Homo-oligomer: A and B are copies of this chain.
Amino acid sequence: MTTRRKSFGSDNHSGAHAEVIQAIAAVNAGDAHPYGADEWTTRSADELNSVFNAAASFFVFNGTAANVLGISLMLRPYEAVVCAESSHLHVDECGAIERVLGNKLLVVPTPDGKLTPDLIGPRLTGRGDEHRAQPRVVAIAQATELGTCYSLQELADLGEYCRSQGLTLFLDGARLSNAAAHLGCDLADLAAHVDVLTFGGTKNGAIAAEAVVVMRDDRVQDVPFLRKQQMQLGSKMRFTAAQFGALLTDKLWLRSAQHANAMALRLAEGIASAPGVTIQYPVQSNAVFAALRSERIEALRREWAFYIWNETEGVVRWMTAFDTTSADVDAFVAAVHASA
C-alpha cells in the first residue's frame, strides 16, 4: 500500500484516534482486577447500557467475534439464522458461525443489503418440520455491508415482523455509528426493536474494541461463559474499556462517524458528474460503491488503495474514515475524473 495517499480501502486501514491512544495510556496505572472486574470496564459498560437502554454490554476483540457471541445468545442447536447474501457473517467470517456455533445460515439475496419482511418470509418454510433447520434469528447489519441504512421505520417494521413470527432480531453494528450519524438518531433508537446487537469501535477509531449489547434481561446470564468459551475474554480488559471510554467521551463516536459520512457524500457528489461512473447504492454511511470500466479501475489502483467488490460487474468500494480529509477526497475525485 502506498502511504503517500490516503487509503479508500476500508475504515480499518486507518489508525486510531489520538484520544483512544491517550485513554489506553491513562488506564495503565497500577493493578486492576482482570477479566472485566475493573472500574473502567464497569464504567464503559454502564455508559453503553445507558445510551442503548440495554440490559448489559460486554466487550470483545473484533467484529466477527461480536457477531458470533451475539447470535449465540439466541439459538438452539437446530435453529438457523436468516441473513442477507451480502452479510459479513455469511461472506467474510470464514464460516465462523457454522464452525463455532454449528448453526445454519439461510441466505437471502437482496437488492441493497437490507432484509425486509417480504424477503424473509420465503425463508420461513418448514417451521415445525423436523427435517428443516428452524429459522430463529434474523440478522441484519446497520449500516449494511453495502453502505445502506435501515430507516427507523424499517427497523420498527422488522422488529414487529420478527415478534409476530416468533423470531429474534440481531443487529451487526460494526458501523452503527455511521448509521446513527446518517439517520440523526440516538443509538437507543437503533436498538429499540432489536434483541441483541453489536457496537463497533474498531472501524471508528479504536484499535481493537467491539461491544455486544444485550437488550433483553433473559439473555444476559449466559454471556460471560459463552464469551470465555468463544475465546474473547480479555484479561486486561481495562484497555478495551478505555477505548470505548474515549469514544463515548463527548460523543467522539458520533463526531467521527459524521465526518466519515460527510467525506463519503463529498466523494459521491464529486464523482456524480464523472462520465462512465455509476454509483450503485444510496450513500448512507461511509462507503461509495461505483461501477466503472476495468481499465479505469486498474489505472486508479496504481495510485490509490481500494477494493474491487465485484470483478465481473466492475464494481468497486470506496470507503472513508474518521481521518479522511476533504483534501484526500478532492484529490481522489480528481483522479477518478482524470481516469476517464
Contact = CB atoms under 8 A, between A and B. Distances in A.
Interface string A77-105: 11010000000000111111011101111
A133 interface: yes
Given A202-B236, A239-B16, A78 B222 contact: yes
B132 A64 contact: no
Nearest to A237: B208
A241 to B, nearest CB: 11
A6 B31 contact: yes
Contact of A15 (B7, B30, B96, B134): B30
A328 B15 CA distance: 38
Contacts of A62: 61, 231-235
A131 B225 CA distance: 7
A107 B107 contact: yes
A72 interface: yes
A65 interface: yes
Given A10-B34, A21-B24, A228 B131 contact: yes
A277 interface: no
Contact of A16 (B16, B28, B226, B240): B28
Interface in A298-340: 305, 312
Contact of A95 (B18, B30, B80): B80
Contacts of A35: 130-131
Given A62-B233, A102-B99, A222-B76, A30 B3 contact: yes
A50 interface: no
B133 A236 contact: no
The secondary structure that dominates the A interface is loop
A229 interface: yes
Contacts of A126: 91
Given A77-B226, A78-B226, A94-B225, 19 more contacts: A7-B31, A10-B235, A14-B31, A15-B236, A61-B61, A61-B208, A72-B77, A78-B228, A78-B229, A91-B132, A93-B228, A94-B131, A94-B229, A95-B102, A104-B105, A130-B228, A131-B228, A133-B229, A231-B231
Interface of A: 1, 3, 6-7, 9-10, 12-16, 18, 21, 24-25, 27-35, 37, 61-65, 68, 72, 76-78, 80, 91-96, 98-100, 102-105, 107, 122, 126, 130-134, 202-203, 207-208, 222, 224-236, 238-240, 305, 312
14 contacts: A7-B31, A14-B31, A15-B31, A15-B32, A16-B28, A21-B25, A61-B231, A61-B234, A94-B229, A96-B231, A99-B103, A100-B231, A130-B227, A208-B239
